Amino acid sequence: MSKFRKDGEKELPPISTASLPDIVFMLLFFFMVSTTMREVTLNVDIKLPEATELSKLMKKSLVSYIYVGEPKKQFQSMFGKAPRIQLNDQWANVSDIQDYVIAEREARDEAEQKFMITSLKIDENTKMGIVSDIKQELRKSAALHINYSSRRKVER
Amino acid sequence: MARKTPEVPAASLADIAFMLLIFFLVTTTMDVDSGLERRLPQWVDQDQLDDNVQIKERNVFVVLVNRNNDLLVENEYAHIEDLRERTKEFMANPYDDEKLPEKELKEIPFFGSVEVTKGVISLRNDLDTKYGTYIAVQNELVGAINELREELAKSKFGKSYSSLESDKQKAIRKIYPSRISEAEPKKAK
């Protein structure tokens, strides 16, 4: 019986931490690759409306964004509280949308142009007047595929 | 003779990597943008607009939203909770009601000849309507059509609409087309 018993309890060897950096690096690369940095700084406050029939925007590279909402606090002295349009990093008027769409279209491959989507990120308290104007401009510039960005509605 | 360079200690490597990891963990946003997908109609010049196209009254489902975000559905005051059911009833017209839209026979792959509704949904909002209300109404209309398609897919193929092959989806889309027409809001004069 005592044949297998070691004489005297041996101490457990310490766990090797040599592979720890490797594991951490692996995680690090995963997050580095999957991270998308926010490209634009929003100058407007946007609280998206709620909806249930959502579809996802799959190809980020084919999406151009139009933001509409109340200017943030620091801009309100300049622009007041009326909802304004933001394209990329700049303030814009309704008449700028056609140029913006054309510029966005030029930046893509010709083969991909017909799959482009315009995502409208519009605050839910905006009046429809400005939204209708934007839609008309989009129709004029033949950017017909749009996506009304919204949050998933939580069932209560 | 050059001195042998001492080995660089690698003990802090893990710490540096951790720091970077935490930075990326914090800055990562993995939310996928999602929203209501719609197609706008082609732009038509005002003078080329053809006003002669007449659609029978029973084929049009009129939804009006006013500046106080109230709904008027087929000339009566309505609640947004009821809109989905009413739209489904309108588009399906299960009992061939006189007041609900006509149907016409069409050849559709997988289904043979089916009666397809001629119904059109017409949505008009005021310039002062809240965008949130507009989206809620759109959501109900799109939802109604999606539900009808889903029911048809379940009963015909026994599968959910989204898991069907694209040609089957196309056939279902032909039976329940998403015909939502948006009139331009009237300009106040």
* Cα gap B82→B148, rounded to integer Å: 16
Query: In 3D, which of B46, B18, B20 has the Cα closest to residue A139?
Result: B46
Rg (chain B; Cα; Å)? 27
Q: How far apart are the first and last CA of chain B?
A: 95
Q: How far apart are CA B56 and CA A28, in angstroms?
A: 63
Q: Which chain A residue has its CA at the smallest distance from B44's CA?
A: A140
Confidence check: pLDDT of B76 > 50: yes
Longest dimension (CA), chain B: 106
The minimum CA-CA distance between B92 and chain A, rounded to whole Å, is: 19
The domains located in chain A, with CATH, are 44-152 (3.30.420.270)
C-alpha to C-alpha distance for A62 and A117, rounded to whole angstroms: 6
Which of the two residues, B183 and B1, has the higher pLDDT score? B183
CA angle B14, B25, A71 (to 5 degrees): 145
3-state secondary structure of A155: coil
| Residue B56, both tokens | 């029978």
Q: Please indicate, yes or no, whether the overall pTM of this predicted structure exceeds 0.80.
A: no
pLDDT in tens, A111-152: 888 889 999 999 989 998 899 999 989 988 888 999 999 988
Here the tokens at position B187 are 């300009």
- CB of A23 within 8 Å of any CB in chain B? no
Model confidence at B71: pLDDT above 70: yes
| For chain B, domain boundaries | 55-182
pLDDT (tens digit, 9 = 90+) per residue, A61-103? 888 889 999 999 888 888 888 889 998 888 989 999 999 999 9
Provide the pLDDT for residue A134.
92
Specify the pLDDT at position A67: 92
Whether A154 has its CB under 8 Å from any CB of chain B: the answer is: no
pLDDT of residue A9: 64
Length of chain A counted residue by residue: 156
Contact A126 B38 (CB under 8 A): no
pLDDT band, very low/low/confident/very high, at B105 (cuts 50, 70, 90): confident
Task: Collect all residues of chain B within an 8 Å Cβ-Cβ radius of residue A152.
Answer: 34
pLDDT score for A2: 53
User: What does the DSSP 8-state code read for residue A127?
Assistant: B
Please report the pLDDT score of residue B189 as a whole number.
40
What's the complex ipTM?
0.75
State how far the Cα of A151 lies from the Cα of B4, in Å rounded to an integer.
62
Which of B16, B28, B33, B169 is the mutation pick for testing A, counting most A CBs within 10 A?
Answer: B33
CB within 8 Å of chain B, chain A residues 48-87: 48-57, 60, 63
A chain contacts of residue B39, beta-carbon cutoff 8 Å: 144-146
d(CA A83, CA A124): 11
Mean pLDDT of A30-54: 82
Q: What is the DSSP letter of B100?
A: S
What's the token pair of residue A59? 């190809």
User: For residue B138, is pLDDT > 50?
Assistant: yes
Whether A92 has its CB under 8 Å from any CB of chain B: the answer is: no
Confidence of residue A37 (pLDDT cuts 50, 70, 90): low
Distance, in Å, from the CA atom of B140 to the CA atom of A15, rounded to the nearest integer, reads 59
Report which of residues A65 and B189 the model is more confident about.
A65
Quick one: what percent of chain B has pLDDT higher than 70? 90
The whole-number pLDDT of residue A5 equals 60
Q: Do B138 and A148 touch (CB under 8 A)?
A: yes
Closest residue, chain A, to B125 (C-alpha): A128
Select from B10, B128, B142 the Cβ nearest to the Cβ of A127.
B128
- What number is the average pLDDT over the span B164-173? 88
Q: Which residues of B touch A (CB under 8 A)?
A: 10, 13-14, 17-18, 20-21, 24-25, 27-30, 32-43, 125-132, 134-136, 138-139, 142-143, 146, 184-185
Chain B contact present for A16, CB below 8 A? no
End-to-end CA separation in angstroms for chain A: 67
B104 exposed, middle or buried (CB, 10 Å; 0-12, 13-18, 19+)? Answer: exposed
> Does the pLDDT at position B1 exceed 70?
no
Residues 6+ apart with CB under 8 A from A58: none
Lowest-pLDDT choice from A105-114, A120-129, B23-32, B130-139: B23-32
- Name A47's Cβ contacts closer than 8 Å, sequence gap at least 6: A69, A123, A124, A125
The mean-pLDDT minimum among A54-63, B130-139, B147-156 falls in A54-63
B167 exposed, middle or buried (CB, 10 Å; 0-12, 13-18, 19+)?
exposed
The 10s digit of each residue's pLDDT in A12-29 is: 888 877 788 888 888 888
Q: Count Cα atoms within 13 angstroms, Cβ side, for A128.
A: 26
- How far off is chain A from B130, nearest CA to CA, in Å? 5
Asked if the model's pLDDT at residue B187 lies above 70, the reply is no
Over residues A33-49, the mean pLDDT reads: 80
CB distance A130 to B128 below 8 Å: no
Lowest mean pLDDT among A109-118, B24-33, B121-130: B24-33
Cβ distance of A28 and B24 shorter than 8 Å:
yes
pLDDT at A68: 92
Tokens 């588009």 correspond to what residue?
Answer: B91
DSSP, collapsed to helix, strand or coil, labels residue A143 as coil
Residue B150 banded pLDDT, cuts 50, 70, 90: very high
Q: Quick one: closest CA in A to B133, which residue?
A: A124
Q: Which of B131, B133, B142 to mutate to test the interface with A (most CBs of A within 10 A)?
A: B131
Q: How far apart are alpha carbons A150 and A52 in whole angstroms?
A: 9
> What average pLDDT does chain A have?
84
Mutation target to probe the B interface, by most B beta carbons within 10 A, among A127, A135, A140 is A127
